[in-house]
Amino acid sequence: MHRFVLITGNLGNFLVMSTFFYFTHVSAHHSFATHYITNELFEISGVVTDVQLRMPHSFYYLDVELENGTIEQWEVEAQSIILLRRMGINAGTLEVGDEVQVSGMRSRDPGRRVMFANEFLLESGERHVMYTLHDDSTPQNSETYLASEDRSSLSSSDTPLLQRMSGVWIRRSAGPEDVFNRGGDSPMPLNRAGLAGRAIYDPTNASAIDCKAPNFPALLYAPYLIRIQSSDGRLIIDHEYYQVRREISLTVDHESGRSLTEFGHSTGRVDTGVLVIETDGFEDHPAGLASDWDGNGRGADIPGSSFKRLREEYTLSVNNQFLHLDLNVQDPLYLTEPYRAKRLWERAGAEVIFEADVCDLEISRRSTINATGTAIN
């Protein structure tokens, strides 16, 4: 997150700052530009009354005392339990009875005492920042989880590419376009059908509300780990977010007449130092091209059709520490032309745990209710 404070005003135990800032790895569940006031930094101070660390989001509950002695109950939404752990925040960081100052974004509904946390300042003076203040879009404290050894000795001449790509990877920024939740127009070249599909987006009917995994390419934008393995003519890519597993054939070409599936059919090959993965056979999906939280959706889901095709080209940096992706997305039903983007991952250290926390349906729905103020059937 980058912020530039312009005006401050003190309102008892509330502090509102008019700001300009953007959030990088805020979440992979819903759009914050749509649901929260992203140009104001809002702060409260209070006593913790309950803590719920869950997937896809966590919740802290605070009693906030006003200047007149009135106590207000506030609900503070935060990152998922997986991301909080990687930021050094666990069940013992904030406990019931602790005093804390929280800064972040307030819900756009002024009648709701709800905010999304960016930073915790504990009574001891300990500070936990949940979003990076750097351009690399890295969660706070994530450097702890990066591989320290130099793997440049694993040259292409003596170690196969897929073997060098094997391991666990942490998402990094691929450039200024790799920013979450900015809002505004999608960078995808949408045709009339694509624009119409984005325009009818209903946040209370999004697939994420029911703990359904996002589709591709949205999963490639999620700020979670991926794990790559290869054996017996197959490449396996596990996505920590929603525990999605891709099994990619390295020996079978695309076949016609196959049934359509949620995540399509993928084949892969190594071509002169490049891992090429091609995927087709997708089912129609209301968020097939983008989810509201990613850098392509920017506040709204974008549908995808059975004509969607993905081409992923993965390469390694010279020292084998960075995994680069050049992405090509085609869907003539919703795009005027193919869409190209880049992704970047950095190799994780051997001590990193590939988490498997299950999405909590009640928590998933609550986060959307809080942000929109709308009940979900």
One DSSP character per residue, 117-142 reads EEEEEETTS-EEE-S-SSTT-PPTTG
The parent domain of residue 279 ranges over 147-348
CA distance 161 to 158: 9
Q: Is residue 374 part of a domain?
A: no
pLDDT tens digits along 71-124: 999 999 999 999 999 889 999 999 999 999 999 989 888 888 999 999 999 999
Question: What tokens does 60 get?
Answer: 């802290």
Note whether 175 and 298 are same-domain residues: yes
In the numeric block, the tokens 């915790």 are attached to 120
Interstrand relation of 58-65 and 114-122 (parallel, antiparallel or unpaired): unpaired
pLDDT tens digits along 1-30: 323 222 233 344 656 554 433 344 445 555
The count of structural domains within the chain is 2
Q: Is residue 377 part of a domain?
A: no
Note whether 85 and 202 are same-domain residues: no
Q: Is residue 142 part of a domain?
A: no
Q: What is the pLDDT of residue 76?
A: 95
Note whether 165 and 204 are same-domain residues: yes
Note whether 173 and 309 are same-domain residues: yes
pLDDT tens digits along 131-166: 643 333 444 444 545 555 555 555 555 679 999 999
Question: What tokens does 20 get?
Answer: 């300009």
CA distance 4 to 21: 7
Q: Using alpha carbons, list the distances in angstroms from residue 22 to 1, 26, 38, 182, 335.
A: 5, 9, 7, 6, 27
- Please choose, from the candidates 270, 260, 288, 266, the residue with its C-alpha nearest in 3D space to the C-alpha of residue 278: 266
Range with the poorest average pLDDT among 138-142, 170-174, 336-340: 138-142
Note whether 187 and 328 are same-domain residues: yes
The phi and psi torsions of 308 (rounded to 5 degrees) equal -65, 140
- C-alpha dihedral sign at 231, 233, 238, 243: negative
Question: What tokens does 145 get?
Answer: 């989880």
Average pLDDT of the chain, as a whole number: 82
Note whether 209 and 330 are same-domain residues: yes
Q: What is the pLDDT of residue 357?
A: 79
Q: What is the pLDDT of residue 376?
A: 53
Q: Is residue 357 part of a domain?
A: no
What type of residue is 221? Y
- C-alpha dihedral sign at 132, 134, 138, 143: negative
Neighbour tally for 271: CB within 10 Å: 10
Note whether 250 and 290 are same-domain residues: yes
Q: Is residue 199 part of a domain?
A: yes
- Residue ending a domain, among 112, 134, 156, is 134
- Residue ending a domain, among 134, 164, 198, is 134
- Inter-residue contact 179 to 137 (CB < 8 Å): yes
Note whether 122 and 241 are same-domain residues: no
* pLDDT confidence tier of residue 347, bands split at 50, 70 and 90: very high
- Inter-residue contact 336 to 347 (CB < 8 Å): no
Q: What is the pLDDT of residue 23?
A: 41
Note whether 130 and 161 are same-domain residues: no
Note whether 184 and 276 are same-domain residues: yes
HSE-CB for 374 with a 13 A CA cutoff: 12
* pLDDT confidence tier of residue 355, bands split at 50, 70 and 90: confident
Cis peptide bond N-terminal to 338, omega within 30: no
Mean pLDDT of 173-190: 69
Identify the CATH number of the domain in which residue 103 sits.
Answer: 2.40.50.140
Identify the CATH number of the domain in which residue 176 sits.
Answer: 2.40.128.20
- Residue ending a domain, among 89, 106, 134, is 134
CA distance 175 to 205: 31
Mean pLDDT of 340-349: 95
Note whether 171 and 43 are same-domain residues: no
Q: Is residue 205 part of a domain?
A: yes
Neighbour tally for 144: CB within 10 Å: 11
Q: Is residue 307 part of a domain?
A: yes
CA distance 174 to 261: 29
Contacts of 148 (CB under 8 A, 6+ apart): 349
Note whether 161 and 289 are same-domain residues: yes
